[in-house]
Structure 1
């Protein structure tokens, strides 16, 4: 279950083969058209081994469900591991409002809507927001691996760091991309001699107009005998709408 949750977390956070974003005009950086699909190469590099896989995401369309007496509406994006994300487009940005894991019978509403990417006047250099997040690859080593379920979320500050970057992926070269930088600190208790350790985690996403997320990088630098981290790279390999 922990592995599924980590893969699902990656999927949030979206081929135009050999295309240039500048040709697409001023389109949304987080398209929600029904039937759109994205394929990513998901690579994890860790001190205790590598893990490579393909991640698929597709938009199923707009729907709604009841949570108590309140109706929640949103566009549904489904990942290849069976997780559904419910996304709302608002005046100031794109928000995740609920998700449903493959083992759940109904969506679980987020306590607060989670901003994925700002839009409009908020899509500007220096704009920041804070969300709680969990490690993507950080994990305890045997015989302490039973403690993996106890790893706590931590806050990460996201910032619009660039508005005109060029990104190269297996799907092509994308221009005029928005870059989002995230920084957070994770604290864990190593042992009686080392005490508490503070790990700086860096997270970067690139969004292309008319396409969405084209690349993601996350660095969780830790390599001790009891706990290890690593690096995650997610690159677009195909997009269709």
Structure 2
């Protein structure tokens, strides 16, 4: 991270916002590409993810925005005065979307410090060392509490410096059997997301640290590059 004094001297990114005043633009054609890295004792390759808002659709007779991930999944999102919720997902191999049992908040209004909500989450980075399947995401699910902790952050990514931004933080605890000595351990899962006015989600982080033993944890950082 750059020194704070150096950051303070940089101007905001010169690029023109694509989404007007929206914290999370969902108009057709809006596209973002992220550089993604995972810090872990197991080396994982860096990646590029592109998310693009495709043509709108309808679900249960209501209009939705469709945000497609280059990894092969589309998120169906509904926006209203209460905020933005994910109402369905569709894999590229599926003919139809799969509705969520309950809509999941992406951002809840009002977009001010102190707004809170809860969604379920799974461990994305934790792996078993010597058991299969190695991933836990299909077997472990816990509630994550989210809170808007700032509404005037400035964020620097390879694409430039952006502001004002919402800083949204999610926290959960996953109880895992990590090794014979410690037995079951409460493992913190922490997510941080920055939504900048007119630019949408420009950076996100995920931390899933585990003590040495049966599991491998890690930290993911994704930053806007284009």
Q: Same fold by TM-score, threshold 0.5 exceeded?
A: yes
Distance 1:174 1:146 in 2: 40
State yes or no: 1:145 paired with 2:140. no
Q: What is residue 101 of structure 2 aligned with on the other side?
A: 111
- Contact 1:96/1:113 (CA < 8 Å) preserved in 2? yes
Q: Going by fraction, where is helix more abundant, 1 or 2?
A: 1
1:52-91 matches, cutoff 5 A? 52-65=46-59, 70-71=60-61, 73-91=63-81
Distance 1:191 1:172 in 2: 43
Q: What is residue 219 of structure 1 aligned with on the other side?
A: 207
Alignment equivalent of 2:83, drawn from 90, 93, 96: 93
- Contact 1:45/1:51 (CA < 8 Å) preserved in 2? no
Instruction: Give per-residue Cα distances to partners, 1:86-114, cap 9 Å, x unaligned.
Output: 01111110111000122322211001111
Instruction: Give per-residue Cα distances to partners, 1:194-240, cap 9 Å, x unaligned.
Output: 321111121110001111000001111124232111000010001xx
Distance 1:44 1:205 in 2: 16
- Contact 1:20/1:173 (CA < 8 Å) preserved in 2? no
Q: What is residue 32 of structure 2 aligned with on the other side?
A: 38
User: 1:71, CA displacement in angstroms?
Assistant: 3.7
1:133-172 matches, cutoff 5 A? 133-142=121-130, 144-146=131-133, 148=135, 150-172=138-160
Gaps of 5+ in 2: 1-11
Q: What is residue 178 of structure 2 aligned with on the other side?
A: 190
Instruction: Give per-residue Cα distances to partners, 1:161-195, cap 9 Å, x unaligned.
Output: 00101000011100111100111101112345432
Q: What is residue 13 of structure 2 aligned with on the other side?
A: 18
Two-structure CA RMSD over aligned residues (Å)? 2.2
- The change in CA–CA distance for 1:196 and 1:225 in structure 2 (over 3 A counts) is closer
Q: What is residue 9 of structure 2 aligned with on the other side?
A: none
- Contact 2:151/2:165 (CA < 8 Å) preserved in 1? yes
Aligned length: 214
Distance 1:44 1:151 in 2: 22
Distance 2:34 2:106 in 1: 18
User: What's the TM-score, normalizing by structure 2?
Assistant: 0.87
Distance 2:68 2:19 in 1: 27
State yes or no: 1:124 paired with 2:124. no
Between stretches 99-108 and 55-64, larger displacement belongs to: 99-108
Between stretches 100-109 and 34-43, larger displacement belongs to: 100-109
Q: What is residue 208 of structure 1 aligned with on the other side?
A: 196
Give the secondary-structure state (helix, strand or coil) at the position aligned to 1:222.
Answer: coil
